[in-house]
Amino acid sequence: MSRAIWTLIYDLQDEDKPLYLEWFHRVHMTEKLARKGYQWASHYEASCSESDTDKVSRFIAFFGGDSTSTFLNPCPRQLKQTQDAETRSMMGLRSNSMALILNHEWSAENNAIKAQLNTPIISEEITLALLDTPGNNEIAGACCIQEIVAENNSHARISKFSNIIDGMQHGLIFERDDTSIPHPIFRFEGELGSLIRTPLEQRQMHATLICHGAAS
């Protein structure tokens, strides 16, 4: 059971993908999963990139941990100072990077709300939706559980997270193994959503699983 997910979002030049992915899947994921508190990892390639170019691809990496403390002791900034030359070289291939430490709030499965994330996020397809709601966190949270879940109850699982570091405040992960299920509806237009008065920043990415692993 994981209570937190370290999430990385970044772009890669297509010419760098073979070298980088071989390192990430063979070396980097293995090293992460050997650390105390790490439980599982999954890596997704997004179906499109915000870079508006055919030569760039977007990736999303998830590392599931016992709790947010797993990713804060040491924290990402401290880990960066201990990286070897190969890791620094591979990290340098990334662009438009974003990191979040997501604390699990709840998951909706089969119309039931669960307080725990009992299985890793390794569905064949996911949608990651990020939301920033300054001054509207209460209403945004209520809208997620009351309206967005109801609109997307055909998905295998919908999980809600809060980001504990800088960046977007809320995260939703929609999982689906049946590709006939449409992409999720992520909007704030219902009765609760209409109460949000300030502009919202939203990002939504659809992605396909390319690799996953678990701690031994």
pLDDT digits (tens, 9 = 90+) for 67-125: 999 999 999 999 999 999 999 999 999 999 999 999 999 999 887 899 988 899 999 99
| pLDDT confidence tier of residue 137, bands split at 50, 70 and 90 | confident
Quote the mean pLDDT of the chain.
91
Q: What global pTM score does this model have? A: 0.93
Q: Say what percent of the chain tops pLDDT 70.
A: 94
Q: What is the pLDDT of residue 101?
A: 98
Q: What is the pLDDT of residue 10?
A: 96
Q: Taking 90 as the threshold, does the pLDDT of residue 174 lie above it?
A: yes
| Average confidence (pLDDT) over 31-38 | 96
CATH of the domain at 194: 3.30.70
Q: Say what percent of the chain tops pLDDT 90.
A: 68
Q: Taking 60 as the threshold, does the pLDDT of residue 51 lie above it?
A: no
Count of structural domains, the chain: 1
Q: Taking 70 as the threshold, does the pLDDT of residue 50 lie above it?
A: no
Q: Which domain holds residue 154?
A: 4-214
* DSSP secondary structure string for all residues of the chain: -BSEEEEEEEEEEGGGHHHHHHHIIIIIHHHHHTSTTEEEEEEEEESS-TT--TTEEEEEEEEEESSGGGGTTT-HHHHHTT--HHHHHHHTTEEEEEEEEEEEEEEEETTEEESSB-S-S--SEEEEEEEE-TT-HHHHHHHIIIIIHHHTTTSSEEEEEEE-SSS-SEEEEEEES-TTSPPPP----STTGGG--S--EEEEEEEEEEEEEE--
